[in-house]
Structure 1
Amino acid sequence: MTELLSNFVAGRWQLGTGAGTPLFDPVLGTELARVDATGLDLAAAFAFAREQGGAALRAMSYAQRAQLLADIGKVLHAHRDDYDAISTANSGTVKNDTAVDVDGGLFTLGTYAKLGAGLGDRRFLLDGEPARLGKDPLFQSQHVLVPTQGVALFINAFNFPSWGLWEKAAPALLSGVPVIVKPATATAWLTQRMVQDVVKAGVLPAGALSVICGSSAGLMDQLQPFDVVSFTGSADTAAVIRSHPAVAQRSVRVNIEADSINSALLLESEAPGSEAFELLAKEVAREMTVKSGQKCTAIRRVFVPQGLYAHAAEAIGARLAKTTVGNPRNETVRMGSLVSRAQLNAVREGLARLQTQATVLHDGAKHALVDADPAVACCVGPTLLGTQDADGAGLVHDTEVFGPVATLVPYRDAAHALALVRRGQGSLVASLYGSDPGALGRTALELASSHGRVHVISPDVAALHTGHGNVMPQSLHGGPGRAGGGEELGGLKALNFYHRRAAVQASTAVLSSLNPPA
């Protein structure tokens, strides 16, 4: 039997007592390893992290904890090649897609290391200016932010085993809050290995970072009032988390990132072949194929003026036709596989559902697989669908197929376009394409209330923009409504989730003593 990966809890490596759940190579079909959390003393694991790890982290300043993040980054950089191999084997990703995950995590760690260094020797943060409580200014109120004295539980998704860990862990550790991560089972190997490398290097105090691989059963039961939980995954699971007694009765703070029907919108002033038009076609094709479309921020709906529908279908399809699909170990392959057979089945089912209301404009089934057996490999070619019935095709606005699938939709005018985009009921990101700064700015503000991020691409930033689906640590990640209602990243704003805000009402002399040194 293949290796059973260890869990790291209560300051030591521990194996589960069960046979374990197998992890597979989604291209070759071979078993890689097994994970299991059966028999772990979860209460002891959470208590150790909360008491030992939390106390050690809070004893440090923000700058000292920022140095921990920098040290983690150095450890991970030293093992970068190993992560490439694990990602290829367990996630079926080509090197560029692995970079999105691994290097994205490293970049986020580095960003928060720099932000934390700027906070200096502080051990808490002031929130705003003092407020006078009466006519005499002697007695005032000052809001402060102090690290929560609990643990941060991360229940992560399968698509980003590296970035999904570090984009949450970086602000948590910087805040002084210990982390317990439960990676998605299908791709848990990379997360487990990264934690193993960091633990072996001894850069963190005991209890600061733990990993539990396998079932999530019992994890929520361990949460206490000052703990926090961050979840990335399906809306159905999010609903279970929100209704758990830890959240509903003990008021554990929760952050959710769930389903998202993200949009790309070409403004009506554009013509076929314009620079903005070509930027749309390029970005849509890229977002459909990066990580085989397995990104929560990927473009799912593409809105263009009615007169440009056929032109857009042709332009996007021409780019998709150049995508080679198959074994990521072959250097000619540009798009690897989905992460598992279950995910392949889900994509096929979702695609069939959408096809009841949309037609195929570019058929992914026509992509011959390179160095991969279609009967074994979890590969699927990029598929562009389209519908002329923008208002009646409700499934297009409600169904997220988590793979290389997007739907082209025409609109009549600007008001119609905005209404169609909002039918996504809240999304992580929308991207806008055009050349009129005023129109782009007005449209961005119109979409801001229903999106966590609005990514505006105009010809002047064609070579500079960071990409519709790339989550940058300096900007907010999250979204309202069906996207989960959560907020992550956003620079130092991410620290708010791991701090408690309180008002200190005292004399000006007392409040002056609170002012932390830089």
Structure 2
Amino acid sequence: MSELLLNHLGGRAQAGTGPGTPLFDPVLGTELVRVDATGLDLAAGFAFARETGGAALRAMSYAQRGAMLAAVGKVLQANRDLYYEISTANSGTVKNDTAVDVDGGIYTLSTYAKMGEALGDRRHLLDGDAARLGKDPAFQSQHLQVPTRGVALFINAFNFPSWGLWEKAGPALLSGVPVIVKPATATAWLTQCMVADVLAAGVLPPGALSVVCGSSTGLMDALQPFDVVSFTGSADTAAVIRSHQAVAQRSVRVNIEADSINSAVLLPGEGAEAFDLLVKEVAREMTVKSGQKCTAIRRVFVPEALYTQAAEAIAARLGKTAVGNPRNESVRMGSLVSRAQLASVKDGIALLARHAEVLHDGRQQPLVDADPAVACCVGPTLLGTRDADGNPVVHDVEVFGPVATLIPYRDAAHAMALVRRGQGSLVASLYGSDAAALGAAALELADSHGRVHVISPEVAALHTGHGNVMPQSLHGGPGRAGGGEELGGARALNFYHRRAAVQAATSVLNRLN
């Protein structure tokens, strides 16, 4: 039997009392480690984090907590090679995809570390200017934000075991709120290893960071009114979380990131340069992390006259992508994370194929250095439908893998209407060269998207990518995307603070500065 990973809760390492759930190499099929949370005293662990970890963090200034995050980043950087090995073994990722997760997490931490330095020796944040409450300015109202005196529970998805932790933990710890992370079981090894390394280095106060690996049973029950929970995953699980008594009765603050049918749109009347930018970005987004990104492009909109040309160009790029064992240097796209995920993606492709034509069939693509009977690999698959209006499935079904659907539109208004049929998404990207048209389209989509990524020739070599989430920009989206907000620079701290108005004499309010 493989090693049983330890949980870290209540200020100490703890093993579950059960046999554990095995984690596998999705390419070789070998068992790697086991995880188990059976028998943990969750109430006591949450109380320790809330009382001991929270008190220690709140006693520090933002600058001190920023320095703490910088120290965490150094620990992670020192162990980076190990994390790459774990990611390859447990997630089946090629090096470039591992970098998105591991290095992306470290970069996000560094961003919030610098933010802490800029906030200085304060322990609370002022929210706007003081406002008069009457004719006499001697009595005013000042809004401020203070760290919530609870824990931040993160229930994370399988696709980003590093970045998914640190993009949440950076703002939480900087705010002075202790973190308890429940990583997705299938890829929990990397999250557990990172947390264990940070705790062993002693750069955080006891109780500031905890990890529970295995079943999530009981975690929501342990939440108290001033705790917060942030979830990334399916809409079905999000609905369960929203209806839990911790949220419905105890008013625990919740942030949800769920399903998202993201779009890429080539604006009408554009030439070869914008067309090529679209083709390149679609192919990249379909293959990075084998399409297992909540921000990946799922629908591609082009003018009707360019449908065939776009299909051929995207398919040509996808056909050059070597898929298989990420340990082979020739491979550019690794595997899905598990047999269950492979089955889900294949079922999703089959469903879409009943409503759309297959323009490039990755299921027929040979694998490099991998046994198709064992490896959780599937090549990138492009589908297409000329019936943009009468085919609801392509606007409703997200296949969480290297899959996208090409859809033609009549004019700009038709394109915008089709994009909005996604019912709220994390990101849409626009491709063109007319600044006025791009700006108008961005405004049209802003209310239904958390982020609008505009790619024009002038930023062709500068833009950060349709699906690459930068800490300076908002991550989240309305509607079916969950209605949540993460990152966005200093905006991320809002979720972990409580806003209050202090009504007092000006002399008292001056003491709050």
- TM-score, scaled relative to structure 1: 0.99
Shift of 1:366: 2.6
Tell me the equivalent position of 2:4: 4
- Cα distance in 1 for partners of 2:103, 2:278 equals 25
1:221-262 deviation per Cα after TM superposition (whole angstroms, max 9, x unaligned): 000000000000000000000000000000000000000000
Task: Give the 5 Å matches for 1:468-479.
Answer: 468-479=466-477
1:284-306 deviation per Cα after TM superposition (whole angstroms, max 9, x unaligned): 00000000000000000000000
- Cα distance in 1 for partners of 2:5, 2:242 equals 30
Q: 1:509 aligns with which of 498, 507, 510?
A: 507
- Cα distance in 2 for partners of 1:342, 1:363 equals 20
- Cα distance in 2 for partners of 1:379, 1:185 equals 19
- Cα distance in 1 for partners of 2:279, 2:116 equals 39
- Cα distance in 2 for partners of 1:283, 1:441 equals 20
Task: Give the 5 Å matches for 1:36-51.
Answer: 36-51=36-51
Q: 1:312 aligns with which of 303, 310, 313?
A: 310
The amino acid that maps onto 1:378 is C
- Cα distance in 1 for partners of 2:162, 2:195 equals 10
- Cα distance in 2 for partners of 1:352, 1:180 equals 38
- Cα distance in 2 for partners of 1:460, 1:115 equals 29
The amino acid that maps onto 2:418 is L
Structure 1 segments (4+ residues) deviating >2 Å: none
- Say whether residues 1:359 and 2:330 are aligned partners: no
Shift of 1:265: 0.3
- Cα distance in 2 for partners of 1:303, 1:91 equals 31
- Cα distance in 2 for partners of 1:170, 1:285 equals 31
- Cα distance in 1 for partners of 2:259, 2:37 equals 27
- Cα distance in 1 for partners of 2:236, 2:363 equals 30
The amino acid that maps onto 1:153 is L
- Cα distance in 2 for partners of 1:183, 1:491 equals 24
The amino acid that maps onto 2:172 is A
Tell me the equivalent position of 1:347: 345
Instruction: Using the TM superposition, name which of 234-243 and 309-318 deviates more.
Output: 309-318
Q: Secondary structure at the match of 2:119?
A: coil
Task: Give the 5 Å matches for 1:324-473.
Answer: 324-473=322-471
- Cα distance in 2 for partners of 1:178, 1:16 equals 22
- Cα distance in 2 for partners of 1:251, 1:45 equals 21
The amino acid that maps onto 1:314 is E
- Cα distance in 2 for partners of 1:27, 1:392 equals 39
The amino acid that maps onto 1:286 is R
Q: Secondary structure at the match of 2:128?
A: strand
Shift of 1:270: 1.1
- Cα distance in 2 for partners of 1:227, 1:365 equals 45
- Cα distance in 2 for partners of 1:463, 1:393 equals 36
Tell me the equivalent position of 1:321: 319
1:354-405 deviation per Cα after TM superposition (whole angstroms, max 9, x unaligned): 1111000011023210000000000000000000000111010000000000
Q: Secondary structure at the match of 1:73?
A: helix
Task: Give the 5 Å matches for 1:59-208.
Answer: 59-208=59-208
1:65-113 deviation per Cα after TM superposition (whole angstroms, max 9, x unaligned): 0001000000000000000100000000000000000000000000000
Q: Secondary structure at the match of 1:118?
A: helix
- Cα distance in 2 for partners of 1:81, 1:318 equals 34
- Cα distance in 2 for partners of 1:359, 1:315 equals 16
1:260-285 deviation per Cα after TM superposition (whole angstroms, max 9, x unaligned): 000000000113xx111000000000
- Cα distance in 1 for partners of 2:35, 2:424 equals 35
Task: Give the 5 Å matches for 1:284-323.
Answer: 284-323=282-321
- Cα distance in 2 for partners of 1:116, 1:468 equals 28
Tell me the equivalent position of 2:261: 261
Unaligned runs of 5+ in 2: none
1:436-460 deviation per Cα after TM superposition (whole angstroms, max 9, x unaligned): 0010001000000000000000000
The amino acid that maps onto 1:430 is A
- Cα distance in 2 for partners of 1:172, 1:152 equals 7
Q: Secondary structure at the match of 1:456?
A: strand
The amino acid that maps onto 1:58 is R
The amino acid that maps onto 1:178 is P
Q: Secondary structure at the match of 2:247?
A: helix
Q: Secondary structure at the match of 2:297?
A: coil
Tell me the equivalent position of 1:497: 495
Q: Secondary structure at the match of 2:159?
A: coil
The amino acid that maps onto 2:423 is Q
Tell me the equivalent position of 1:232: 232
- Cα distance in 1 for partners of 2:492, 2:79 equals 27
Unaligned runs of 5+ in 1: none
The amino acid that maps onto 1:240 is V
Shift of 1:506: 0.2
Shift of 1:513: 1.1
- Cα distance in 2 for partners of 1:365, 1:489 equals 36
- Cα distance in 2 for partners of 1:482, 1:365 equals 29
- Cα distance in 2 for partners of 1:190, 1:368 equals 29
- Cα distance in 2 for partners of 1:35, 1:161 equals 14
- Cα distance in 2 for partners of 1:362, 1:281 equals 14
- Cα distance in 2 for partners of 1:305, 1:161 equals 38
Shift of 1:422: 0.2
Q: Secondary structure at the match of 1:325?
A: coil
Q: Secondary structure at the match of 1:110?
A: helix
How big is the alpha-carbon RMSD for the aligned residues of Structure 1 and Structure 2? 0.4
The amino acid that maps onto 1:59 is A
Q: Secondary structure at the match of 2:256?
A: strand
- Cα distance in 2 for partners of 1:222, 1:197 equals 26
Tell me the equivalent position of 1:243: 243
- TM-score, scaled relative to structure 2: 1.00
1:17-48 deviation per Cα after TM superposition (whole angstroms, max 9, x unaligned): 00000000000000000000000000000000
Identical pairs, percent = 82
1:146-189 deviation per Cα after TM superposition (whole angstroms, max 9, x unaligned): 00000000000000000000000000000000000000000000
- Cα distance in 2 for partners of 1:261, 1:389 equals 18
